[in-house]
Amino acid sequence: MVCHGGFSLDDAKRRAWYNPDAILHDLGLRAGRVFIDVGCADGFFTLLAAKAVGATGIVYAVDRDAQAIERLKAKAEQQNLYNIRVKVGAAEETVFCTACADFVFYSMALHDFEDPLQVLRNAKKMLKPTGMLADLDWKKQRNASGPPFEIRFSEQEAVELMKTAGFMVVNVKDVGPYHYLVTAKSNER
Ligand SMILES: C[S@@+](CC[C@H](N)C(=O)[O-])C[C@H]1O[C@@H](n2cnc3c(N)ncnc32)[C@H](O)[C@@H]1O
């Protein structure tokens, strides 16, 4: 799968930028948790999350790209992962379940959605009162890989969108040289 900037989403280069397992572990992803990957593509994080939550957990994944979802399904089968539920569709129209999720996760996707505010509002519906929103995305800087500078969200833009959607931002941090991670919780707990 090739995304913005022409790099393969499964590229080893990506693992040189950051450790995806450590990102999930540091979020608190453990066995038995419910994890929702929005804009999952062929499941780089979906598959890792499915291993982390194990047979007692569940991972929901949505992408509008049907071919990417087919690749994700094939990889899940190859890896004997049976705890993933996939959907082809728009994130703007996706609420898998209400107050069911421990985590709603976007990886390099929030800036891509046509209506990111609606997608965030959907996350709020899906998260448990104790749930965590996590947004890994490209820093708004010019570098050879990744999406065009103009469409990237700065950390501040992502934070403002989350606040508008009714989240309370918990943390903003750098993840490697090119990415940031914003975590947030519902402010109605
Ligand atoms: C840069 S890719 C990131 C994929 C994946 N999260 C990863 O880290 O490998 C962004 C993905 O978001 C998906 N996408 C963009 N807009 C979408 C929308 N409105 N609804 C669902 N998926 C969308 C694209 O099809 C693409 O697979």
Q: How far is CA 11 from the centre of its chain?
A: 17
Task: Tell which one of 14, 17, 63, 105 to mutate to probe ligand 1, the residue whose CB is within 8 A of the most ligand atoms.
Answer: 63
Kindly indicate the confidence band of residue 159, based on its pLDDT and cuts at 50, 70 and 90. very high
pLDDT score at 11: 72
What token pair was written down for 129?
A: 């009162």
**Residues having CB within 6 Å of any atom of ligand 1:** 3-4, 9, 39-41, 44-45, 62-65, 68, 90-92, 107-109, 112-114
pLDDT per residue as tens digits for the range 82-112? 999 999 999 999 999 999 999 999 999 999 9
Spatial separation of the C-alpha atoms in residues 41 and 1, rounded to whole Å? 8
What atom in ligand 1 is closest to the CA of residue 68? 27
Total-model pTM: 0.96
pLDDT per residue as tens digits for the range 10-55? 578 889 999 999 999 999 999 999 999 999 999 999 999 999 999 9
The closest residue, in CA terms, to atom 4 on ligand 1 is 41
Q: What superfamily does domain 4-186 belong to in CATH?
A: Vaccinia Virus protein VP39 (3.40.50.150)
